[in-house]
Amino acid sequence: MKASAFSYARATSVVNALELLVAHGDKAKVLSGGQSLMPAMNLRLISPELIVDIGEIAELRGIAVRGDVLSVGALTRHVDLLRSPEIAAHTPLLTEAVAHVAHPAIRNRGTLGGSLAHADPASELPACMVALNATIIISGQAGERRIAAEDFFTGIYETALSAQELLISVELPVAQKNSTHFFHEFARRHGDYALVGLAAQAIVEGEEFADLRMAFFAVGDRPVLAKAAKKLVNVALTPAVLSEASTALGEELDPHEDHQASAAMRRHLAKVLLARCTSAVHGRPDLDAGGPV
Ligand SMILES: Cc1cc2nc3c(=O)[nH]c(=O)nc-3n(C[C@H](O)[C@H](O)[C@H](O)COP(=O)(O)OP(=O)(O)OC[C@H]3O[C@@H](n4cnc5c(N)ncnc54)[C@H](O)[C@@H]3O)c2cc1C
């Protein structure tokens, strides 16, 4: 199928893009890498009257470290994240996760801003933003808004963005001393959307977690920052502690059922990931074996 007829405008600046979005309201759509927008238009799931192409706006590009913050422009492509030495040094979780996003052809065009604005609950990058405690920077005619990633995702394909706003960049705290990460997803094939995945960022002191942010994906209508992770922080890690956290996780999650997996299977896989994360971060195979595998 082909998309419905639409008009096209290439925005020359953020200000120009915002003017176009305000003038056309809900009838306009932003185009970044087009890897989600174009398939949706071709399937006629959406039929915008105007496409506002932001792909040439230089101010939306770039990865920069400023003090203890890493700033990443919305137009940064998946492949740029994958190859960036700054990302590898300061947010290695992202380097590991982005290798699981689709395939090279899609990673060559798809962008960070597009992935976050699209807000697919099975996507890797939204969960990473939640795990990394990112701040999402949004621009509208009234000025700039800064939203914690945890509050940015509001439902399936829904975010705090309005139709008249642009996602400009994200800010990520650079990895602290003693910080570490874990990423794993279960997918039918490498590059497919995950059945269930976990992006986690932790601070480790001795044999304990001093902090642990576990963001599960494909288990709800948005990335889920697991409250159950708190049960693993500042406590000696034993099979009993892990079992308690696992039970709490199972109660907390409300996964959906689809043709790929039942809700029970998704809940089970999330528990497996919780145990694997704990075991891998601390080099404790006994915890994985004792976990709910
Ligand atoms: C076959 C296939 C497999 C894929 N597999 C995966 C996968 O495993 N994991 C995964 O995470 N993704 C996957 N994707 C999606 C891919 O990562 C997309 O690149 C990404 O979701 C959207 O990025 P984009 O730059 O292409 O955005 P676009 O398609 O251009 O835009 C997506 C949406 O975001 C809006 N938007 C874009 N940029 C902005 C902005 N700066 N401000 C406001 N709104 C904006 C658009 O209006 C649109 O609604 C897959 C895509 C395909 C085609």
Give distance in angstroms: CA of 39 to centre of ligand 1. 10
pLDDT for 177: 86
Query: Is 292 part of any domain?
Result: no
Indicate whether 190 and 158 sit together in one domain: no
Indicate whether 163 and 139 sit together in one domain: yes
pLDDT for 192: 87
Q: How many residues does the chain have?
A: 293
Query: Is 1 part of any domain?
Result: no
DSSP state of 228: G
Cα(120)–Cα(124) distance, rounded to whole angstroms?
Answer: 9
Query: Is 293 part of any domain?
Result: no
DSSP state of 25: G
| 185 pocket-lining for ligand 1 (C-beta < 6 Å) | no
Indicate whether 212 and 271 sit together in one domain: yes
Cα(17)–Cα(41) distance, rounded to whole angstroms?
Answer: 20
Phi, psi of 128 (to 5 degrees): -60, -40
Indicate whether 267 and 224 sit together in one domain: yes
Give one DSSP letter per residue of 231-279, joined into a string: GGBTS---HHHHHHHHHHHHHH------SS--HHHHHHHHHHHHHHHHH
Indicate whether 65 and 139 sit together in one domain: yes
pLDDT for 227: 98
pLDDT tier at 169 (50, 70, 90 boundaries)?
A: very high
Q: Where are the alpha helices (DSSP H) in the chain?
A: 14-24, 37-42, 78-83, 85-90, 92-98, 104-107, 112-118, 124-131, 149-152, 239-252, 263-282, 285-290
| 118 pocket-lining for ligand 1 (C-beta < 6 Å) | yes
Place of tokens 């889920």: 224
Residue-wise pLDDT for 199-211, tens only, equals: 999 999 999 999 9
Total count of domains within the chain: 3
Q: How far is CA 17 from CA 8, 23, 100, 115, in A?
A: 12, 10, 31, 19
Query: Is 218 part of any domain?
Result: yes
pLDDT tier at 176 (50, 70, 90 boundaries)?
A: confident
Give distance in angstroms: CA of 102 to centre of ligand 1. 10
pLDDT for 291: 46
Give distance in angstroms: CA of 77 to centre of ligand 1. 10
Q: Which of 27, 111, 118 to mutate to test the pocket of ligand 1 (most atoms within 8 A of CB)?
A: 118
Find the CATH number of the domain harbouring 13.
3.30.43.10
pTM score, two decimals? 0.96
Query: Is 276 part of any domain?
Result: yes
Residue-wise pLDDT for 58-115, tens only, equals: 999 999 999 999 999 999 999 999 999 999 999 999 999 999 999 999 999 999 999 9
Residue-wise pLDDT for 210-262, tens only, equals: 999 999 999 999 999 999 999 999 999 999 999 999 999 999 999 999 999 99
Indicate whether 227 and 193 sit together in one domain: yes
Q: Which atom of ligand 1 is nearest to the CA of 100?
A: 8
pLDDT for 210: 97
Of residues 291, 278, 285, 281, the one with CA closest to residue 239? 291
Of residues 255, 222, 258, the one with CA closest to residue 116? 222
pLDDT for 289: 62
pLDDT for 189: 87
Q: Domain residues for 270?
A: 181-287
Query: Is 2 part of any domain?
Result: no
> 157, 173, 189 — which closes off a domain?
173
Find the CATH number of the domain harbouring 165.
3.30.465.10
- Give 9's strand partners: 52
Indicate whether 39 and 75 sit together in one domain: no
Indicate whether 15 and 48 sit together in one domain: yes
Indicate whether 31 and 80 sit together in one domain: no
Q: How far is CA 182 from CA 58, 147, 203, 278, 286, in A?
A: 33, 24, 11, 9, 18
Q: Are 30 and 52 in contact (CB under 8 A)?
A: yes
Indicate whether 162 and 94 sit together in one domain: yes
